A and B are shown apart, each in its own frame.
Chain A
Amino acid sequence: MIGWRSGYITAVICSIGLHLLVVAAFLIDWPSESKDIVVQPKFIQAELIQLKPKEKPKKKASNSKAKELAAKRREADRQKAAQKRLEQQRISEREAKRLEKLRQQEAIRQKREQRQRELEQERARKQAALDEKLRQEQAAEIAEQEKQSASSYIQIIQGRLSQSWSRPPSARLGMQTLIELKLVPTGRIVGVKILQSSGDVAFDRSVEQAAFKAAPFSELQSMEPRIFEQYFRSVKVLFNPEDLRL
């Protein structure tokens, strides 16, 4: 029994020691990783720089002679300066004239260019209009052709439908049934819907039966898919017994 108990004691000591270690690891050695991150705005420091003219050392005339000499020199200087100024003025006037001329030439050239550009635009617009018209005409032509081919197919369908239509005895002149045929490109009928009934059930049914009997319109297989989509996806057919003499 002593051996057993000592086993438990070591176990308890081990376990508690382990858990104390874990807790201590959490409490003590948890590095505070979150440093304060301060985002500093990037800026440029602007400084005002003053350009100071260098001060010229002033010479002081020490005596009167020197003063006179200085005065004369100054006079001469002044005259020279005046001449210079005049000359400069002349030069600048000439320069100004030249500049003016240049500017005028520039303006003329610009005007010419603008006119040319406008002309070009005009021409382009006219061309575009012409193209558009041409395209429309062509489209119309194509549409006309398509319509013609479509109408030939429509005639085929009409012929087949009227062939396979057996009118019921109750059919009377003036009865009309409008049906809508849903076709697929193979020429098969996938749906018949009566849009406008004649009022006579037998007549309507005969029309439906005629549609299913006439199908498939295998001629439609040779048709361009575009034309099919445009005209034959759903076809409306009006049945009226014109040939009856009643």
Chain B
Amino acid sequence: MSEENLSILSLILNASVLVQLVMLLLFIASVISWIMIVQRGIYLRNAENGFKHFEDTFWSGVDLNNLYHELSQEAQENGGNQGIENVFRAGFREFTRLTDGQSADPEAVMEGTDRAMRVALSREEEALSTHLPFLASVASVSPYIGLFGTVWGIMNSFRGLAMVQQATLATVAPGISEALIATAMGLFAAIPAVLAYNRYAAQVETMNASYETFAEEFSSILHRQVHSK
């Protein structure tokens, strides 16, 4: 097979250095973007399941103090919670700390709690959307990189054609073929990245919205507690 002139492997091996570099770059980009895709997929699925699970336990009427201690214990074992539990913990911690003092002004307590939860929320949002910019840039740039490799390869093969006395299709066809591999690789890297980016961006959006809703609800509960005292 390797003896054959037009096998993919021999085409890649015979390509010019720049085109080979482009191909290598695209291959690496593809590998990394797939790592991101799988990792993000796992992470987002976990976050979604965790959110559902937490909401169920939260609304099941469990004592908030108990829930907080459970979660803190879990966090210590696992080295940190993720997702909505963090928001809850941050808010509750701040709330208990502020209400411990005897002369707690309800407005000040709510303000502090809200601020703590906002911080936790924004941290969670950040965590949800990590790597998505990378996917976006792979999706948009790798076709161009591939195209660059193709153009370079075709340029060279036409330059070679100009030096040949009798130009036949066979003198340019291998060069063009090997150049087109670069475009194929670019598309190969870009298409999954585009799909994944679009899907994950939408998912992150909905997750953020549901986190915010939960934070609002939790804050209203705390508000009731503060003012009923």
Contacts and interface: CB of A to CB of B under 8 A. Distances in A.
Interface of A: 1-4, 7-8, 10-12, 14-16, 18-19, 22, 26-27, 30, 32, 34
Main secondary structure of the interface of B (DSSP, over half): helix
Nearest to B42: A7
B27 A19 contact: yes
A60 B32 CA distance: 107
B39 interface: yes
The 7 closest A-B pairs by CB, nearest first: A15-B34, A11-B39, A11-B38, A1-B79, A15-B35, A14-B38, A7-B42
A10 B34 CA distance: 11
Contacts of B78: 1-3
B1 A19 contact: no
Interface of B: 1, 4, 6-9, 27, 30-32, 34-39, 42-43, 46, 78-80, 82, 188
A33 to B, nearest CB: 10
Nearest to A19: B31
A4 B127 CA distance: 11
A85 B200 CA distance: 114
A157 to B, nearest CB: 67
A7 B31 contact: no
A1 B35 contact: no
Given A2-B79, A34-B4, A12 B35 contact: yes
B7, B9, B34: residue with the most chain A Cβ atoms closer than 10 Å = B34
Nearest to A7: B42
10 contacts: A1-B80, A11-B35, A15-B34, A18-B34, A19-B31, A26-B8, A26-B9, A27-B9, A30-B7, A30-B8
Contacts of A16: 31
Contacts of A15: 31-32, 34-35, 37-38
B32, B42, B188: residue with the most chain A Cβ atoms closer than 10 Å = B42
Nearest to B40: A11
A18 to B, nearest CB: 6
Contacts of B32: 15
Contacts of B7: 30, 32
Contacts of A2: 78-79
Given A1-B78, A26-B9, A30-B7, 14 more contacts: A1-B79, A2-B78, A3-B46, A3-B78, A4-B43, A8-B35, A12-B35, A15-B34, A15-B35, A15-B37, A15-B38, A32-B1, A32-B7, A34-B6
Nearest to B39: A11
A120 B106 CA distance: 132
A22 B34 CA distance: 13
Nearest to B1: A32
A8 B27 CA distance: 19
A3 B1 CA distance: 45
Contacts of B36: 11
B42 A30 contact: no
Given A1-B79, A15-B35, A10 B9 contact: no
A6 to B, nearest CB: 9
A19 B30 contact: yes
B4 A32 contact: yes
Nearest to A14: B38
A1 B82 CA distance: 9
A11 to B, nearest CB: 4
A14 B43 contact: no
A121 B35 CA distance: 95
A244 B34 CA distance: 106
Nearest to B3: A32
B38 to A, nearest CB: 4
Contacts of B37: 11, 15
